[in-house]
């Protein structure tokens, strides 16, 4: 995550619900909640000095909406972590957008796709051997 981008924000309409979803769905990927503020929660790797993924109430006060074609793909340490991400996401209010499995995007490209409770699309991907 640290080498890919500085940070990413996704909007939410219900911060408490979103925090429960992301706490559960990101844990299998090794991401932890690093910040909790009244209008946002932030996630990152435990050993990274930065918080890289922020879930936030929109700054302008208008309702959050998801972008068509927008999808962060998060690195998973194993195929089992992809499976656990998908399972946790569905158990915490997410919806399925593609069950875990190999995809044709490269050798060993194992991914799962979900939407969070606000409709934001996410993917967890493990590249390499099982």
Alpha carbon distances (Å) from 39 to 4, 32, 42, 54, 57: 25, 18, 10, 10, 5
pLDDT confidence tier of residue 1, bands split at 50, 70 and 90:
very low
Mean pLDDT, range 48-76, rounded to an integer: 90
Residue 3 in domain: no
Residue range 27-57, pLDDT digits in tens:
999 999 999 999 999 999 999 888 989 999 9
| pLDDT on residue 5 | 66
In whole angstroms, give the CA distance from residue 113 to residue 42: 21
11: its two tokens: 């909007």
Predicted pLDDT at 2: 44
Strands (E), 1-130: 8-11, 32-37, 40-44, 53-56, 73-75, 95-102, 109-115, 121-127
Q: What is the CATH number of the domain that holds 88?
A: 3.10.180.10
Token digits of residue 1? 């995550």
Cβ pair 18, 55 in contact under 8 A: yes
- pTM for the full predicted model: 0.90
Q: 2 lies in a domain?
A: no
**Number of folded domains that form the chain:** 1
Structural domain contains residue 1: no
Q: Residue 83: give the domain boundaries.
A: 8-127
Q: Is residue 86 part of a domain?
A: yes
* Residue 96, domain member (yes or no): yes
Kind of pairing, strands 32-37 and 53-56?
Answer: unpaired
Question: What single string gives the DSSP state of each residue in 66-102?
Answer: PPTT---EEE-SSHHHHHHHHHHHHHTT-EEEEEEEE
For residue 70, pLDDT beyond 90? no
Task: Give the pLDDT of residue 89.
Answer: 98
**Residue 129: which pLDDT band, with cuts at 50, 70 and 90?**
confident
What's the chain's average pLDDT? 93
């Amino acid at each position: 995550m640290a080498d890919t981008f500085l940070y990413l924000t996704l909007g939410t309409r219900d911060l408490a619900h979103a925090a429960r979803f992301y706490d559960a769905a990101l844990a299998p990927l090794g991401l932890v909640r690093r910040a909790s503020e009244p209008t946002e929660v932030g996630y990152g790797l435990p050993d990274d000095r930065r918080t890289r993924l922020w879930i936030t109430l929109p700054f302008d006060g208008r309702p959050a909406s998801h972008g068509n074609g927008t999808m962060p793909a998060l690195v998973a340490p194993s195929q089992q972590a992809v499976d656990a991400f998908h399972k946790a996401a569905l158990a915490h209010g997410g919806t399925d957008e593609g069950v875990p499995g190999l995809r044709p995007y490269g050798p060993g490209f194992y991914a799962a796709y979900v939407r969070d409770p606000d409709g934001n699309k996410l993917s967890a991907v493990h590249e390499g051997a099982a």
